[in-house]
Structure 1
């Protein structure tokens, strides 16, 4: 009897695999939608449209971008989680999603439960900048100043849970410092007050702050990747400046609803990886402060899980609550 059960199970598995492969060979036979749970015009939207313009060459069908912003990316993400797992609705995600796994526990979805990783796209470094009046010229001096005067230094961000805020909290946790967070409603508001000297420093996008650094309106203390930024190559990383293994970037990727046939996920991964792996694409993105990422679906799933765990530790240790 057990042998019969095992045989039937094996037959069922082979049948399911064959069906999935056949589906993948026929997929796609209609347009594919990429849902961006952020407003139009931002980096996530721009890179989604970059892919949507190029994927039809590899896969033979149009790729259409649909912006569904709101509720900290929850609205658009929920819509994709509830979509059929047929490869025709995809999600453009960022590490806002991995932060939200802990910061917003009562979401109607969970990344590892309701999605499967398809492929990463790229990551962008941030830069730690300070108003010129701040005497610290490097990370070690900044850490010493913060430890000498706990709670006297402050940093701005575009709001609780944003990558700029989380970069600051990770810095505090890894450097053992107490620095006051000053949240703003927008990045522009935070940036204006750092440039004006109302706030001591902030973490911001490298490309956004590069011109302000060159103009002397702020000074660059360090960048946040593990390698130096091509945009500010003379600025050291936080990692090499005395906080080993510090890394806080903004990264983007593509997810599909859980249950999407593995063969479809693999075809998508190969098509996206071919685009992000092109030398001319990587060179163009480097000028924008972005570094292309190429991973298999399995490696990308692990990357997502590790990022969730990383920010969970920071959020819980700092007792961060959503606004």
Structure 2
């Protein structure tokens, strides 16, 4: 005869069996963090640092998935078409705000097909030159370019990129004729500056800081509104051309239709992660700065303002993706 204890044990086992699927579903899942760039670049560096900290702090695994191509539009399209369950996110670059104007037709609506979650980081760029160029700062460069119209060249590591547009605005505001030369990537562009095949380039601090410190290139100016701590003697271009401010930024987005509470929780987690000493140290090493804290609504307003700002720059400069 089965006694009372055995009966209760059997009932308990049965209940656990019935609950097992729910328990499995409650286990930490995996979130794909799509990046529209190749491994090793600034966007990838930020994504991997963020994924590592979020995985540690939330108990959910975040895995970076690189989907380069079309100025980030391939990765963006995949996220726009994903289920709004938090399992697929986009770590995007400034190009997310540039592309709506740069491209005449996109397979998604940048403002309607995404849930802005959080700003992550910003990165100023350096205007660098071959060491032999007889100009030490922005003012001297402008004077040299005016004395030699059409004789100086500037490398473009990505047509329609923030750094490309910053260079075009520099030329417009300074009233100088400098020839833009497209390159397939930052590496080849900088190598030609080092070799003296081309005189100038604009590139993120992370990409050029070691070259500057090693004397391979010299820093002429910085694209942010203020000087950067790593290069206090390098003037901001805005000191010579008032209003010039072209720092790039990285932000986290999900598909449209995400549950508001889920998005708010993730946004708060990102802001918390940005206070991590380990993350801050890693970003600082790459010349990247954490973005000032913004809640989701503030970040969405920021993104919309950036779409408008960069749209005007694209129209003003006549930049095209080809």
Do these two structures clear the TM 0.5 threshold for a shared fold by scoring above it?
yes
SS in structure 2 at match of 1:111? coil
User: Aligned pair count?
Assistant: 297
Larger deviation: 44-53 or 91-100? 44-53
2: distance between equivalents of 1:41 and 1:218?
21
Decide which of 254, 257, 269 is 2:267's aligned counterpart: 269
Match in the other structure for 1:102 = 101
Match in the other structure for 2:236 = 237
State the TM-score, normalized to the length of structure 2.
0.85
2: distance between equivalents of 1:132 and 1:40?
29
Match in the other structure for 1:59 = 58
2: distance between equivalents of 1:47 and 1:288?
9
Match in the other structure for 2:252 = 254
State the TM-score, normalized to the length of structure 1.
0.85
2: distance between equivalents of 1:58 and 1:28?
15
How far off is 1:276 after superposition? 0.7
How far off is 1:274 after superposition? 0.5
Match in the other structure for 2:288 = 290
Match in the other structure for 1:40 = 39
How far off is 1:221 after superposition? 0.8
2: distance between equivalents of 1:307 and 1:41?
25
Q: Does 1:80 align with 2:91?
A: no
Structure 2 vs 1, CA of residues 76 and 28 (structure 1 numbering), >3 Å: closer, same or farther?
A: farther
Maintained 8 Å contact 2:49/2:282: no
2: distance between equivalents of 1:61 and 1:279?
21
Maintained 8 Å contact 2:35/2:64: yes
2: distance between equivalents of 1:193 and 1:184?
10
How far off is 1:279 after superposition? 4.5
1: distance between equivalents of 2:27 and 2:256?
18
Structure 2 vs 1, CA of residues 157 and 292 (structure 1 numbering), >3 Å: closer, same or farther?
A: same
How far off is 1:57 after superposition? 3.8
2: distance between equivalents of 1:54 and 1:161?
31
Structure 2 vs 1, CA of residues 27 and 276 (structure 1 numbering), >3 Å: closer, same or farther?
A: farther
Maintained 8 Å contact 1:173/1:314: no
Q: Following superposition of structure 1 onto structure 2, how do residues 1-323 of structure 1 map, counting pairs within 5 Å? A: 30-240=29-239, 242-293=240-291, 294-323=293-322
Q: Deviations over 1:52-92 (max 9, x none)?
A: 22213433322222222223222221111011122221111
How far off is 1:106 after superposition? 0.7
Match in the other structure for 1:17 = none
Maintained 8 Å contact 1:131/1:200: yes
Maintained 8 Å contact 2:28/2:61: no
Larger deviation: 161-170 or 254-263? 161-170
2: distance between equivalents of 1:178 and 1:184?
19
SS in structure 1 at match of 2:189? helix
Q: Deviations over 1:233-279 (max 9, x none)?
A: 22121122x11221222321100111112211110110000011235
Maintained 8 Å contact 1:28/1:60: no
2: distance between equivalents of 1:195 and 1:276?
35
Moved over 4 A (4+): 26-29
Structure 2 vs 1, CA of residues 47 and 216 (structure 1 numbering), >3 Å: closer, same or farther?
A: closer
2: distance between equivalents of 1:247 and 1:45?
23
2: distance between equivalents of 1:199 and 1:258?
44
Q: Which runs of 5+ in 1 are unaligned?
A: 1-25
Maintained 8 Å contact 1:39/1:67: yes
1: distance between equivalents of 2:226 and 2:244?
11
